[in-house]
A and B are shown apart, each in its own frame.
Chain A
Amino acid sequence: MATEEGTQGEAEQLKLRGRLAKLRELPLLRGVGVSGEMARLQRQIDRIGEEATEDDVWQAVELARHQDRPYTLDYVERILDDFVELHGDRSLGDDAALVTGLGRLEGRTIALIGHQKGRDIRERTHRNFGMTYPEGYRKAMRTMEVADRHGFPVITLVDTPGAYPGVVAEQHGQGGWIARSQLAMLRLRVPSVTCIIGEGGSGGAVAIAVADRVLMQENAIYSVISPEGCAAILWRDAGEAKKAAAAFKPDAIHCLELGVVDAVVPEPPGGAHTDHDAAAELLGAAVRDALLDVEGVDFEERRRARHRKFRNMGVFLE
């Protein structure tokens, strides 16, 4: 028994060392102004070295959904020098749950695509709580097309509980447009960077998250289903959401470990909602680093690498 425990302890140590090694490789940690965050991030990693508890994971869920957390447009005004919003899908409507536009980042033009939640009840209703219709994905795709033709890198910010589960959304082809939006991202000639900045809710999130580099903020979550939904199905009780979240591990560190995201972006102490400016500075530095990392490559090679990256996702036995 003692031996078994010893082996287990060593395995944990090994795992922890692996985590730290990965973190040190992160491109964002080379960035100016970010290195000061490393010690704190490392302490956090040390703390969860054992295994994230139910409470740890749930804290990420709550912070990711915090009503004062910065949304896409909060970052746009802080990170980009100029921004012209592009409206409408050129077919049927303009989905306010997802914003797209062209902006300037360090002297060059980029295309930005991001989910947008609302802060007060009026804006929340207007933004449909960040839940996109197919019109939103079509708008994203046409902005990507413009970016691709003009050589503008594509940056996407993900923050949605999920695609909107309504009758009209279904009639307009919700599933199909989520699929086509992923395909459009996979085919881009230009570099792309995604950051999960809040809730990365299922298909509605991954529709705009198929990028060369996928980053995730420290307190964001990324998951196949909401904790409530998972609990309702598997525990047959939505009240078991906390248990469900602990089981499917939507937090950033687990996503990093599973190879789903390339880097974790630090937030100000206490979470992004405590200091929007500081959060934007950290996010901006990480996005710039990630772009630099993928920009120098020939576009064919970059596309091949992107395909390889997503083609190899998953763990199975053979």
Chain B
Amino acid sequence: MASHIDVSIEHRGPEPEPQKKHPNTCPSCHSHYKDEELDANLRVCPQCGHHFPVRARERVNQLADRGTFEEADAGLRSADPLGFFDLRAYTERLAEAEVATGLGDAMIAGGAIIERRPVELAVMDFGFMGGSMGSAVGEKFVRACERAADRRVPLVCVTASGGARMQEGILSLMQLPKTVSAVDELREAPAAFISVMTHPTTAGVLASFASLGDLIVAEPGALLAFTGPRVVQQTTREKLPEDFGLAESNQRFGHVDAIVSRPELRPFLGRVLTLFERNGN
């Protein structure tokens, strides 16, 4: 039924991936790696340049000057306002995600220094319920904006998300205007907002704060789409272009300022942060 089309989120991946024999097998060129090998190369395939996912804490280590990240709001946790239960209880999924990732929710945020420039840094983790945005993620992002506005420092936000968190129902949809209002406060300050989109940045997160950066950077090959390819295919039966929704396609259509590979990301951010420093300061 066309009137019942699902236009929401597909890349939430709350189900843990079945453990493959080689979790570090490159999906692009099929090379195998040890964890240390990949970590040493910022989790980029040395053979073909495929960007493997990066956990939030690892991302912080990659971007922030050593030892400068000071996490804020670490005690913030999702509530279960609807008493949501599908095949399992939401509270159970939350507890499991926390154990699996060591994170309180799908975003960590705090003050940091990147290439000697002070910033607020917010990083999402796709491993925590598909990086989905519920009230806790929304609140963390908003507070990061408020701290950035207070300190008059730029906000750097690294996104990886399947969209809004269904288990919080309409309240998760309300995180869209909530985070957008926070970006507006940032603009009023004014403080710069650098949005770094990584694979995948989709649905509710793309349709709110992630798209509102003063500058939007994407990692190569990242899927950046409001609706993912599977749902588009299923609902419209359209033939999808080969690069549907990828960072490269988004850049071609004018939605992304720069595609920057991971090893170059930190120096690139350093340059950009310098450009956004207030003249005369």
**Contact surface of A with B, Cβ cutoff 8 Å:** 65, 117, 124, 129, 131, 161-167, 169-176, 178-180, 182-183, 186-187, 201-207, 209-210, 222-226, 228-230, 232-235, 243-244, 247-250, 254-255, 258, 260, 306-307, 310-318
Contacts and interface: CB of A to CB of B under 8 A. Distances in A.
Nearest to B185: A307
B13 to A, nearest CB: 10
Given A161-B7, A165-B231, A226-B8, A311 B226 contact: no
Interface residues of B, number: 76
Contact of B8 (A169, A173, A224, A255): A224
Given A179-B176, A203-B7, A254-B170, 11 more contacts: A161-B3, A165-B226, A173-B211, A186-B177, A203-B203, A223-B173, A226-B7, A230-B8, A247-B86, A311-B178, A315-B135
Contact of A317 (B9, B79, B82): B79
A314 B232 contact: no
A8 B254 CA distance: 56
Contacts of A172: 253
Contacts of B178: 310-314
Interface of A is mostly: helix
A313 B172 CA distance: 9
Contacts of B170: 222-224, 248-250, 254-255, 258, 260
B138 A162 contact: no
Interface of B: 2-10, 12, 14, 73, 75-79, 81-82, 84-87, 134-136, 138-139, 142, 164, 166-178, 180-185, 202-204, 206-212, 224-227, 231-232, 235-236, 238, 240-241, 244-245, 249, 253-255
Contact of A174 (B8, B85, B180, B207): B207
A229 B210 CA distance: 23
Contacts of A244: 86
A210 B174 CA distance: 9
B239 to A, nearest CB: 8
A314 B249 CA distance: 34
Given A165-B7, A249-B82, A313-B171, A175 B225 contact: yes
A186 B183 CA distance: 11
A179 B225 contact: no
7 tightest A-B contacts by CB? A229-B6, A162-B7, A314-B135, A175-B206, A225-B8, A165-B227, A175-B226
